[in-house]
């Protein structure tokens, strides 16, 4: 219960008490009648105009009987000017000398009523007539400063701190806030585009008894009342198609998906995809729809179709180049995959120095070759089309070549950001493709799904109109539109390992832990003997350690064993 407070935190708590002693409530309940924002004030300056603003104090410049401070609101900062004898017209100067100068801190929220003016140096400022403490801040904020040459000093840059304390990151790093504003703009732009086209936004289950629609490892959970395992969504495809069977012409969903796989700078365990399905369309229509969509979104987010990503300049202006997968592989390896057997493909891949094995079927082999030799070369938005049938179990066979499917992926900067099909709606073909996936799964390809969604097949048997579907990785698209190489930068709260709680151990606990560290795991009785503690103290120590999650007692038949935990 003893929280270690820094000197500055103690001072702020003391200021809080002093304010209360002066009859000032540091966390008042009443609304504050804000009528202006910093940005508007600066853009539409009117001398002497009365304003009421609110925000965090971000800097102080105290000069005797007058002071300047900066208030940061949702749109930026504005300077305020406060004069002692105007705030305190009587003999009592407490409000200025004590409350303003001493008891307020950087980070506090205050409200200010006053009028606009320009200082001698021309800075638009609010001349304070009245100020109100709205909320006291008890922890000092990091304080990046920008000097006269525009250089930022002491920037709050440690990624670990920034991701764990995003609220602080957002307060002190305006460019971070901008990324998330753009993220929201992207979602609105896309939603508007779909709504204008007449399609309907829907919601489908996140807890599913079969996690289908993609090849990925799901998170597993359990429903107590039903006493059944449930999986968290890895894709929403199968549910959206059921809705097309049900008679909607176009449905879309922004879906949080969950995949229990590795984490790195481009993968977070939960991420956001957008999937849309439109009846009576095919993948050719969807390509045109997609390029128009992305052009629209880029414009809405950045005001231009051009975007910078690292060293690349990309342009989302439609139309985009279309390259068949066969042609792509031919272009970059000189190898023609058309009509090749599994063995021929495996040999070709091995000759190219690609690590492949016997569990890989034709589709996987081609995917490996493409991924290794071609994918990275497509910088400008490019549609890769006509994927082999084996790697697209939910996609309709190509109308001209049954060994291919009517599928495209959109590549940008060497990464996939969209995936689309002429959806497979032949229920018998679909069942066979699922069964083939199960066979692959049994063979050892752990990407292929192991369970067949019978209900989805039943829906297809009732009939699904010809449909084209599209999926977009929203996080990746935000990364491209905001020039961020890490997914953690475009998620408010990226997944992190839990912060290690500092465990304050008693002397007895330390003693037991010391013995345990040299010899764990060990017999509980032996450990107790070596600790030479009284029965009562021993009991408290081992219970304390297990409760703190440092050690664990495991029962094995008759014997009790103590293990050390991370």
Partner RNA sequence: GAUUCGUUAGCUCAGUCGGUAGAGCACAACACUUUUAAUGUUGGGGUCCUGGGUUCGAGCCCCAGACGGAUCACCA
Residues 489-548 that bind RNA (CB under 7 A): 496-497, 500, 502, 504, 514, 517
CB of 166 to RNA, least distance (A): 13
80 or 279, CB closer to RNA?
80
Which parts of 84-234 are beta strand (E)? 109-118, 124-135, 145-146, 152-153, 200-201, 207-208, 220-223, 228-232
Tell me how far the alpha carbon of residue 194 is from its chain's centroid.
23
245 or 274, CB closer to RNA?
274
Query: For 113, phi and psi rounded to 5 degrees?
Result: -110, 135
Which parts of 403-550 are beta strand (E)? 407-412, 415-422, 467-473, 522-523
Site for RNA in 435-464 (CB under 7 A): 447
333 or 419, CB closer to RNA?
419
Is 261 one of the binding residues for RNA (CB under 7 A)? yes
Tell me how far the alpha carbon of residue 285 is from its chain's centroid.
31
Is 159 one of the binding residues for RNA (CB under 7 A)? yes
Is 264 one of the binding residues for RNA (CB under 7 A)? yes
**What region, left, alpha or beta, does residue 532 occupy, with left being phi > 0 and alpha being psi -120 to 50 degrees?**
left
Task: Check if the beta carbon of residue 505 is closer than 8 Å to that of residue 521.
Answer: no
Helices and strands, number each (H, E), in the chain: 18, 23
**3-class secondary structure, 553:** strand
CB of 554 to RNA, least distance (A): 19
Is 409 one of the binding residues for RNA (CB under 7 A)? yes
Site for RNA in 464-493 (CB under 7 A): 473, 485-486, 488
Is 254 one of the binding residues for RNA (CB under 7 A)? no
CB of 20 to RNA, least distance (A): 17
Is 209 one of the binding residues for RNA (CB under 7 A)? no
Is 127 one of the binding residues for RNA (CB under 7 A)? yes
Task: Check if the beta carbon of residue 521 is closer than 8 Å to that of residue 565.
Answer: no
Task: Check if the beta carbon of residue 467 is closer than 8 Å to that of residue 281.
Answer: yes
Is 175 one of the binding residues for RNA (CB under 7 A)? no
CB of 190 to RNA, least distance (A): 18
How many residues touch RNA under the rule CB under 7 A: the total is: 76
Site string for RNA, 214-233 (x = CB under 7 A): xxx-----------------
Site for RNA in 342-371 (CB under 7 A): 355
How does DSSP assign 433-459, residue by residue? HHHHHHHHHHHT-TTS--S--HHHHHH
Site for RNA in 417-436 (CB under 7 A): 419
Is 267 one of the binding residues for RNA (CB under 7 A)? yes
Site for RNA in 75-104 (CB under 7 A): 79, 81, 83, 85, 102
**3-class secondary structure, 262:** coil
CB of 65 to RNA, least distance (A): 4
CB of 473 to RNA, least distance (A): 7
> Which residue intervals of 208-282 are DSSP H helices?
237-245
141 or 300, CB closer to RNA?
141
156 or 252, CB closer to RNA?
156
How far apart CA 345 and CA 362 sit, in angstroms, is 7
Torsion of CA 204, 205, 209, 215, to 10 degrees: 60
The neighbour count for residue 269, using CB atoms within 10 Å, is: 15
Site for RNA in 99-118 (CB under 7 A): 102, 105-106, 117
Is 207 one of the binding residues for RNA (CB under 7 A)? no
Q: Report which DSSP code applies to 466.
A: S
How far apart CA 133 and CA 25 sit, in angstroms, is 8
Is 17 one of the binding residues for RNA (CB under 7 A)? no
Stretch that binds RNA, among 55-63, 174-182, 199-207, 280-288 (CB under 7 A): 55-63
User: Which of 90, 120, 175, 224 is the binder for RNA (CB under 7 A)?
Assistant: 120
């Amino acid at each position: 219960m003893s929280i270690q407070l820094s000197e500055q935190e103690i001072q702020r708590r003391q200021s809080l008490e002093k304010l209360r002693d002066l009859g000032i409530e540091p966390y008042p309940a009443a609304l504050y009648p804000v009528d202006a924002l910093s940005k508007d004030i600066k853009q539409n300056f009117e001398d002497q105009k009365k304003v009421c603003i609110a925000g965090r104090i971000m800097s102080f410049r105290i000069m005797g009987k007058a002071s300047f401070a900066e208030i940061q609101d949702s749109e930026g900062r504005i300077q305020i000017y406060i004069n002692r004898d105007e705030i305190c017209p009587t003999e009592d100067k407490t409000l200025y000398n004590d409350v303003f100068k001493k008891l307020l801190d950087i980070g506090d929220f205050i409200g200010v009523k006053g009028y606009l003016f320009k200082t001698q140096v021309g800075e638009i400022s609010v001349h304070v007539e009245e100020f109100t403490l709205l909320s006291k801040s008890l922890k000092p904020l990091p304080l990046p400063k920008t000097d006269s040459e525009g250089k930022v000093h002491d920037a709050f840059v440690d990624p670990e701190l920034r991701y764990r304390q995003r609220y602080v990151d957002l307060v002190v790093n305006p460019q971070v806030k901008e990324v998330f504003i753009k993220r929201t703009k992207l979602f609105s732009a896309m939603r508007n585009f779909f709504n204008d086209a007449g399609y309907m936004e829907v919601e489908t289950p996140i807890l599913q008894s079969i996690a289908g629609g993609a090849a990925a490892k799901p998170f597993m959970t359990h429903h107590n009342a039903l006493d059944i395992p449930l999986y968290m969504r890895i894709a929403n495809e199968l549910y959206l198609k059921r809705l097309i069977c049900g008679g909607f012409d176009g449905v879309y969903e922004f879906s949080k998906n969950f995949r229990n796989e590795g984490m790195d700078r481009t993968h977070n365990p939960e991420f956001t995809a957008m999937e849309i399905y439109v009846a009576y369309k095919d993948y050719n229509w969807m390509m045109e729809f997609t390029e128009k969509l992305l052009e629209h979104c880029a414009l809405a987010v950045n005001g231009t179709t051009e975007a910078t990503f690292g060293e690349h300049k990309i342009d989302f202006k439609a139309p985009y180049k279309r390259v068949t997968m066969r042609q792509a592989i031919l272009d970059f390896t000189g190898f023609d995959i058309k009509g090749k057997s599994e063995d021929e493909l495996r040999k070709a891949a091995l000759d190219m120095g690609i690590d492949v094995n016997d569990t890989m079927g034709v589709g996987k082999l081609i995917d490996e070759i493409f991924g290794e030799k071609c994918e990275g070369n497509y910088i400008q938005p490019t549609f890769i089309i006509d994927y082999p049938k084996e790697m697209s179990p939910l996609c309709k066979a190509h109308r001209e070549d049954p060994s291919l499917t009517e599928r495209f992926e959109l590549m940008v900067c060497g990464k996939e950001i969209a995936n689309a099909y002429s959806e497979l709606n032949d229920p018998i073909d679909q069942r066979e493709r699922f069964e083939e996936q199960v066979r692959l799964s049994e063979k050892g390809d752990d990407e292929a799904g192991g369970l067949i969604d019978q209900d989805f097949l039943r829906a297809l048997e009732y009939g699904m109109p010809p449909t084209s579907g599209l999926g977009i990785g929203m996080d990746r698209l935000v990364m491209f539109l905001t020039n961020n190489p890490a997914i953690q930068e475009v998620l408010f709260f990226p997944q992190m390992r839990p912060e290690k709680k500092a465990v304050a151990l008693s002397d007895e606990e330390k003693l037991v832990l010391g013995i345990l560290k040299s010899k764990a795991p060990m017999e509980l009785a032996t450990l107790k003997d070596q600790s030479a503690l009284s029965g009562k103290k021993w009991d408290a120590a081992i219970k304390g350690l297990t409760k703190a999650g440092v050690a664990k007692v495991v029962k094995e038949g008759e014997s009790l064993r103590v293990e050390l935990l991370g």
